[in-house]
Amino acid sequence: MTSQTIRLCMAQMTSTNRHAGNIAWMDDAAARARAEGAQMLALPEASGLCNRIRDEALHQVVDHEKDPFIAACRAAAARHGLWIHTGSTPVAGPEKGDAARFLNHSDLISPDGKIVAGYDKIHLFDICLDGKPPTGESRRYRPGAQAVLADTPWGPAGMSICYDLRFPQLYRDYARAGAVFLFVPSAFTVPTGQAHWEVLLRARAIENGAFVIAPAQVGRHDDGRITYGHSMIVNPWGKVIADLGGDGAGLITVDLNLEEIAAARRQIPSLQNGRDYDLYHAETRTDQPETAS
């Protein structure tokens, strides 16, 4: 039987280019979350390491089993009896040497320190905004290939990371499989954040009648990037119930009532109303007689 409420603590970080500082921040956040009675701490993308300088990152990023940030999250979860969603951190992929690409990896950790589920970011941020250089995340990262639905005491949770947000079919599949939470840890750029962040989060919540939990990076980072912030929690009706703004790191603890999911899905049963269809391309016909002018 699933619990109908969860007290969740969401973090907004300005992650550094070294594991140690991020581990210290996470340890403090976990202690504060537990002190506030939270049952889960949700962290943003790149929470363990934020370093796009390849030569440095190659010496920092290790296999998942050896990653210091993941190990620290597991220890903190067990120490505080807290669920921790790690957001994401880079871990080594199967390629080695000069051709090595990392995996943008997320874990959900139970209160006994065990990893319940792991997810590798599927959709990589390869975009080119007018007047700016291409981002090219796929040059540094290898895409994942598996969507992951994680079991929790409150119901299934769909795992995703940042740019995945722009692919609604992923979240639809999660919702159809019973997801009550949709995790979207992110490190949005300022231009795309200002234009699209809130509207996309609200759309995913409304479309699927689920809570969207979207912890984010904020501010200027050691490697030169600037991230948008505005970590948000959106309820199943599309209302933003938490927003940490764009001014700096912080935490917010929110009680989520899971009865809101059933209420939203009962009133607008789009998960049941969807229909299969064929795509018909109506081309211009050339065999029709010309009309007199």
Model confidence at 119: pLDDT above 80 = yes
Q: Which pLDDT score, from 0 to 100, does residue 292 have?
A: 59
At 41-81, the pLDDT tens digits run 999 999 999 998 888 999 999 999 999 999 999 999 999 99
Question: Which one of the listed residues 9, 50, 73, 121 is annotated catalytic?
Answer: 121
Are 208 and 175 spatial neighbours (Cβ–Cβ below 8 Å)? yes
Model confidence at 293: pLDDT above 60 = no
Question: Which one of the listed residues 45, 73, 137, 260 is annotated catalytic?
Answer: 45
Provide the whole-model pTM. Answer: 0.93
Q: What does the alpha-carbon distance between residue 67 and residue 21 come to, in Å, rounded to a whole number? A: 14
At 189-234, the pLDDT tens digits run 999 999 999 999 999 999 999 999 999 999 999 999 999 999 999 9
Closest CA to 125 of 95, 160, 157, 164: 164
Q: Which pLDDT score, from 0 to 100, does residue 283 have?
A: 86
Model confidence at 289: pLDDT above 70 = no
Q: Which pLDDT score, from 0 to 100, does residue 95 have?
A: 86
Annotated active-site residue 283? The verdict is no
Question: Which one of the listed residues 9, 50, 73, 162 is annotated catalytic?
Answer: 162
Q: What is the 3-state secondary structure (H, E, C) of the chain?
A: CCCCEEEEEEEEECCCCCHHHHHHHHHHHHHHHHHCCCCEEECCCCCCCCCCCHHHHHHHCCCHHHCHHHHHHHHHHHHHCCEEECCCEEEECCCCHHHCCEEEEEEEECCCCCEEEEEECCCCCCCCCCCCCCCCHHHHECCCCCCEEECCCCCCEEECCHHHHHCHHHHHHHHHCCCCEEECCECCEHHHHHHHHHHHHHHHHHHHCCEEEECEEEEECCCCCEEECCCEEECCCCCEEEECCCCCCEEEEEEEECHHHHHHHHHCCHHHHCCCCCCCCCCCCCCCCCCCC
Model confidence at 96: pLDDT above 90 = no
Annotated active-site residue 45? The verdict is yes
Model confidence at 238: pLDDT above 90 = yes
Q: What does the alpha-carbon distance between residue 45 and residue 187 come to, in Å, rounded to a whole number? A: 6
Q: Which pLDDT score, from 0 to 100, does residue 134 have?
A: 62
Average pLDDT over residues 88-106: 92
Model confidence at 106: pLDDT above 90 = yes
CATH T-level assignment (fold) for domain 5-267: Nitrilase/N-carbamoyl-D-aminoacid amidohydrolase (3.60.110)
51-55, 131-135, 148-152 — which is least confidently predicted? Answer: 131-135
Q: What does the alpha-carbon distance between residue 151 and residue 241 come to, in Å, rounded to a whole number? A: 24
Are 158 and 208 spatial neighbours (Cβ–Cβ below 8 Å)? no
Annotated active-site residue 73? The verdict is no
